[in-house]
Structure formats: C-alpha cells, structure tokens
Amino acid sequence: MLIFDYYPFLFPIAAGIFGLLIGSFLNVVIYRLPVMMEREWIKECIDYFPQLKKDSSLKKHTLDLDKPFNLNIPRSRCPKCDTQIRAIDNIPVFSWLWLRGKCRQCANPISVRYPAIELLTAALSVVITLYFPANWYGLALLFFTFTLVAATFIDLGTMLLPDQLTLPLMWGGLALSAFGISPISLHDAIIGAMAGYLCLWSVFWAFKLLTGKDGMGYGDFKLLAALGAWLGWQQLPLLILLSSVVGLIFGLVQLRLQKKGIEKAFPFGPYLAISGWFCLIWGHDIANWYLTNILHI
C-alpha cells in the first residue's frame, strides 16, 4: 500500500472502483446464497425423510437438486428468456445504463436494485477511505462494509441472516484485535462479542416468556456479536439505541405504506447493520457530543 502513502488521493478512487466491482458480486451473493441455503435444507430433509421426494409441493424444488448451484455455477441468465448474460452486459452500472435497464435479448426489465447496490457499495467504500488510512485495517473495514451490505439486503428480502456471513464477520473482528491490526483491544472485542450476543438473546427469551412468540431470529444475535467484536463493547449501547430508533421509524413507515397490522414481522438485521456502520464512522463523535452537550461532562 506504499503507493497510497505517496498518492493518497488514489485510495478513494481505487476503493470506489473496487466497490463497484464488489457490488456486482454482492448482487450474486444476495440472490444466490439464500437459494443455496434452501437447497441444502431440502437435501437434508430428504436424507432423513426420503418420502418427501415424492411430495408434490416439493417437486419443483427437488427436480434440479442434483445440478450444481453456487456462486459461480450456473452462469447468470435472464429469468425470462434464459439467455446467458454476456460479460459486456455485466459491467457495473454502465451496462444497466447502456441497456436502459432491459435485457438485450428480450427487453425484460432489469431491476434498478442491481445498479443501486453497486453504487451504494462504491459510495460506502469511498467514505471508509476518507475516515481511515490506507493500511491493513482500512482494507479490512472495506470487507466489513461489503459483508454488512450483503447481510442487509438478504435479510430485507428473505428474513435470513446467513451464518456464512455473520460468523466469519465475528471471527474476523476478533482476529484483527488478536493480531493488533484493529485499534480495539482483544479484551474489548471478546466482551463486545459476548455482550452483543447475550443482549439480544436475553431480549428474545424475555419476550418469548411473556408472549409465547419469537421476537427475533438467532441471526440477529450473531450479527450484533460480530459488530461487538469489531467496535468493542463500549459502542454497544449507542448501537442498540440507534438500531431501535431506526427500526421503529422504518417499521412505522412500512406499516403505513403496506397497511399491515402490528403483527407483521420485520427484519431487524438491516437496522443493526446500518447502525453498526454509522457507529464505526461517527460513533465516538456522537458519544462525545452527547456527553458534552446533554450530560455536560
């Protein structure tokens, strides 16, 4: 990273381009990872209960279970005409604009979500470079950001927070502290991971004992544990407060727009991810402002 020491302006540019490319890959992860998980669950169920393979309700799922499906295979195709997407049509943002948001072959609309995620990932990457130096920790924070983007949109679409994202994120935060790359001490990171998990775990069981219902998923516990490992236990009160406020606001807006009852389940992971990322960038500034202007300390 010596080149960025001599030419620091190159770091945001490189991060922005890198963010666009990773954003394109994240679109694949966001769509395929939940499908891969579902296929694995069906395979495990069939292994224990072979008779399920004859179940008509599972027929559409079991037909292609023997065909490989992962982040690389099969190649991306148009869902309407099944035409394989060419490399020239996979350039982040540019291809979508050039094709005017439509499939080259059949003119089927391509969701604006794809370029939006690419632009969002690039923008967040640039912000990271403006607040953190071009070192190993700065590079790690880029991947921290990429993981949060993927987890956010997967949870929004499927109400799932895959272990394939949350657990490596947690262990990565602990490893950075253990090797002295992160400014967070290993002591604070370990307590942050433990307190993050136990905090939501306690809320889950308190809610379940009072109402008999599940208030949130275990993926939320693991995500907050991961954020605690990266940010330290000191940031957890602010993180939980911010995520609760953001979740309440967005939840009320969604209830208003969709006109659904209060019983409707909402994903909490996106609000944890958004608040965790904000705490990473501005958490200390917010805490200092609160202590100075509100508590007058």
Distance CA 290, CA 282 (A): 12
Residues 86 and 11 in one domain: yes
Mean pLDDT per 10-residue interval, the chain, length 297 residues: 66 91 95 90 78 63 72 81 82 89 84 94 96 92 97 94 96 97 96 95 88 82 96 94 86 67 74 95 81 66
144 falls within a domain: no
Report DSSP letters for 72-83, one per residue. SSSPPB-TTT-P
Number of H helices, E strands in the chain: 11, 0
Residues 35 and 166 in one domain: no
The pLDDT value recorded for residue 17 is 94
Residues 19 and 84 in one domain: yes
Determine the Cα angle at 155 with ends 258 and 214, to 5°.
80
**Domain count along the chain:** 2
The pLDDT value recorded for residue 290 is 67
Q: Provide the 10 A C-beta neighbour count for residue 64.
A: 11
281 falls within a domain: yes
Stated pTM of the model: 0.90
What tokens were used for 246? 């953001």
| Full residue range of the structural domain in which residue 34 is found | 1-134
**Kind and range of the H or E run holding 12:** helix 10-48
